Structure 1
Amino acid sequence: MVINSIKMVIDQKNLLHNIDYLKKLRGKNILPVVKANAYGHGVELIVKALYTSGQKEVAVARYIEAENILKMNLGNDFRVLVFESIGDIELIKNNPNIDIAINDLSELKDFIKAEIPANRMQLKIDLGFGRNGISLSEISELEKFTNENNLKFKGIFSHLFAINYEDGLELMDLFTDVVNSLGKDKFEMIHLQNSAGVMNYNCEIATHMRVGMLTYGLQEVGYFDPNLKQVFSLEGQIAGIRDIEDHKYVAYELKDDLDIEGCKYLAKIKIGYGDGFLKKNEKSKCIINNKEFKIAQVTMDNTFIEVDESVNEGDKILLYNDITKVVNFTGMNIYELLTILSPRIPRVYKY
């Protein structure tokens, strides 16, 4: 590891704890969502840890994400569900470890005609979200087509998008009716709940819960389960200390413009907005030697922190230690904060 670098440390024990806890919470299996570089955590580390623990299927948004995961060559028993429509039939045929989401009825018919096995397909039902999926008006035709062709699928799913609790219950009932009308025995996997849905509901007909944020121990405002453990830690070392008492400038800015009156020492760390650590973090707090210090300036490659005489080069620093405070301070949600963190920041396992 480069000296005094900032890295994201991934705690495998916490990751696997979260999976086990969520399984027991609702008595269902988990389909972990590892899109967007595993929500910024580093998809290779996360997927490897999941597979080693016995998790044989994950989900992503895009084909390119699945392609990169399969290049890890984990095993022929490992599968990746891609949510977006792939479209290229030859691409699908040549990647048998990819399961495909069927987002409209014509797509299903084309793939069956091309002799792609139905046990690689998961039907996406649009319950009114309006983004993609087989519409409710097509369910009768879908039922007829599946019966005529004696099709059994890898899965069926939808998106529990409602904010209002009562609306969510109605969507669960609607999804249950759709699955029962098609025949529950036609599907190996049935999933509806996302992370918020897991916290709010227990969908009885579902076999799996499709979990993103909760996999990583991240919880949105309004939800909190103390049994979930945060998987990442953004940490590193102080790269240098400068006495700025007689300086007029700090990097490209006038010292007087930085609101650091009375500050004698600035500590530098090797992270900046080029790494996805945005200038919105200026004036927020970080932890050095178990004490809070204020971030004074964020540049493209470095960040400068107001410190005192107790801080030395090489001391450990924690960023985003309390993710809820960071969300409130920056006005960004957790998804944004973590997924924009650049590959320039190494992702490493905690040992």
Structure 2
Amino acid sequence: MSRVVINKQNLYSNMDFFVQKLGSVDKLCVGLKDNAYGHGIEPIAKLCKSYGITNVFVKNLKEAKMIDRFDFDKVHILNYIPKIKTKYDITINYLEDIKKIPQNSNVQLKVDTGMHRNGIKPDEIKKAINQITKYKLNLSGIFSHYCCADEETIKTINQHKIFQKLLKKVEGKGNFEKHIANSSGVFRTDNELYDKARVGIGVYGYIDIPKYQKYLKPVMSLIANKSSTRIVRKGDRVGYGSDSYEVVKNTLAISNYDIGYGDGFFRIDENKSYFTPNNKEILGRVSMDSLSLNSIADEVVLFDDVRELAKLHNTITYEILTSINSELKRVVVY
């Protein structure tokens, strides 16, 4: 059976790296949103709990409820407003959100310091605090988000300055946590000024800062199982299309494997080639539920590091990881 393999040792090694930088495991808030960046929210949540993680963030209420049994100290929902009070922290992305959130809910106020995506304007901070009090909400945190911390740019410094200036305006307004850093942001800011960092892609083994990438280890591997094997001959074509892969050897043993684009493994541009970690080439077009390789092995590792695939598809590691079908079984190796 095809499956996603999660490497516990690599996950914990990555967490160790961020904890060392942050100074405390309590300051590492792990990203479990979007099915734990494709890795599987429940197995990753279980591993987080065993490691000692106390803070996590998720996309919506459905994901929050999926990890209830792990009893994290704080679960921060980024993009959902429930109709009734919950125990989770709910994000205020706009002033208009405040009156929509059930009374006595815990809220995290997001401030737009320069990304211009979500969050209140910095000059709306006092108005927001007053409305949070008026509508009987509990301010659990104030946060922002770096837009380009993976780059050497003044933009990150400016965002940090704007956020710090804003926080001074609300000193004494309550006991709330403060956070701004994402994975790359951990290495671009003074972490002692903040209560935690929201680390997503970093704990899964990727960061777009080369000098730190070498310390991280990819956590996910994708395994496909053999469906059939056959011998093809020179001139035969493999898969869909009259111009599909043409066999150039006199004879070639190939096998079909049970992973396709329906499982989230994208089709390969026919002008490009992809080789697995064991140097087996995908032959012809990736089908919906299968693909062919010059291999006769019972199973193959399609990837154990998605950076090469991301380059091949002209995209980012996040997209490759989060596209892997959630119905594929997740198996943790220790």
Q: Normalised by the shorter chain, which TM-score bucket?
A: 0.7 to 0.9
Contact 1:151 1:186 in 2 (8 A): no
SS at match of 1:293: coil
CA offset at residue 228 of structure 1? 1.8
- What pairs with 1:185-204 in structure 2 (closer than 5 Å)? 186-204=174-192
Are residue 287 (structure 1) and residue 277 (structure 2) matched? Answer: yes
CA offset at residue 216 of structure 1? 0.7
- What pairs with 1:179-258 in structure 2 (closer than 5 Å)? 179-183=167-171, 186-220=174-208, 222=210, 224-245=212-233, 248-254=236-242, 257-258=244-245
Counterpart CA distance in 1 for 2:104 and 2:133 is 17
Counterpart CA distance in 2 for 1:137 and 1:149 is 20
Counterpart CA distance in 2 for 1:223 and 1:62 is 33
Which residue of structure 1 lines up, in the alignment, with residue 332 of structure 2? 349
Are residue 133 (structure 1) and residue 131 (structure 2) matched? Answer: no
CA offset at residue 107 of structure 1? 3.2
CA offset at residue 63 of structure 1? 2.6
Letter of the aligned partner of 2:247 in structure 1?
I
Which residue of structure 1 lines up, in the alignment, with residue 110 of structure 2? 124
Are residue 160 (structure 1) and residue 150 (structure 2) matched? Answer: no
Are residue 108 (structure 1) and residue 103 (structure 2) matched? Answer: no
Residue 31 of structure 1, aligned match among 15, 24, 29: 29
Counterpart CA distance in 1 for 2:326 and 2:130 is 48
Residue 306 of structure 1, aligned match among 281, 284, 294: 294
Contact 2:238 2:283 in 1 (8 A): no
TM-score, normalization by structure 1:
0.83
Which residue of structure 2 lines up, in the alignment, with residue 324 of structure 1? 307
Which residue of structure 1 lines up, in the alignment, with residue 64 of structure 2? 66
CA offset at residue 323 of structure 1? 2.5
Counterpart CA distance in 2 for 1:234 and 1:270 is 11
Distance verdict in 2 for CA 1:299–1:157, change over 3 Å:
same
4+ runs deviating over 6 angstroms: 146-152
Letter of the aligned partner of 1:333 in structure 2?
I
Residue 74 of structure 2, aligned match among 74, 79, 82: 79
Aligned residues: 326
Letter of the aligned partner of 1:301 in structure 2?
D
Contact 2:238 2:244 in 1 (8 A): no
Contact 2:10 2:217 in 1 (8 A): yes
Identity of aligned residues (%): 28
Letter of the aligned partner of 1:240 in structure 2?
S
Which residue of structure 2 lines up, in the alignment, with residue 21 of structure 1? 17
Letter of the aligned partner of 2:59 in structure 1?
A
CA offset at residue 44 of structure 1? 0.9
CA offset at residue 188 of structure 1? 4.0
SS at match of 2:178: strand
Distance verdict in 2 for CA 1:198–1:148, change over 3 Å:
same
Which residue of structure 2 lines up, in the alignment, with residue 54 of structure 1? 52
Contact 1:127 1:158 in 2 (8 A): yes
Residue 317 of structure 2, aligned match among 331, 334, 338: 334
Contact 2:34 2:322 in 1 (8 A): yes
Contact 1:245 1:264 in 2 (8 A): yes
Q: Which piece of structure 1 moves more, 39-48 or 192-201? A: 192-201
Counterpart CA distance in 2 for 1:122 and 1:279 is 40
Contact 2:204 2:219 in 1 (8 A): yes
Distance verdict in 2 for CA 1:239–1:219, change over 3 Å:
farther
Contact 1:270 1:303 in 2 (8 A): yes
Letter of the aligned partner of 2:117 in structure 1?
R
TM-score, normalization by structure 2:
0.86
Counterpart CA distance in 1 for 2:34 and 2:180 is 20
- What pairs with 1:4-15 in structure 2 (closer than 5 Å)? 5-15=1-11
Question: Over residues 289-341 of structure 1, what are the superposed CA-to-partner deviations in whole Å (9 max), with x where a residue is unaligned?
Answer: xxx1211131111110124xxxx442x42222342222222212111111111
Counterpart CA distance in 2 for 1:221 and 1:285 is 25
Distance verdict in 2 for CA 1:177–1:320, change over 3 Å:
same
Which residue of structure 2 lines up, in the alignment, with residue 171 of structure 1? 159
CA offset at residue 127 of structure 1? 1.2
CA offset at residue 78 of structure 1? 4.5
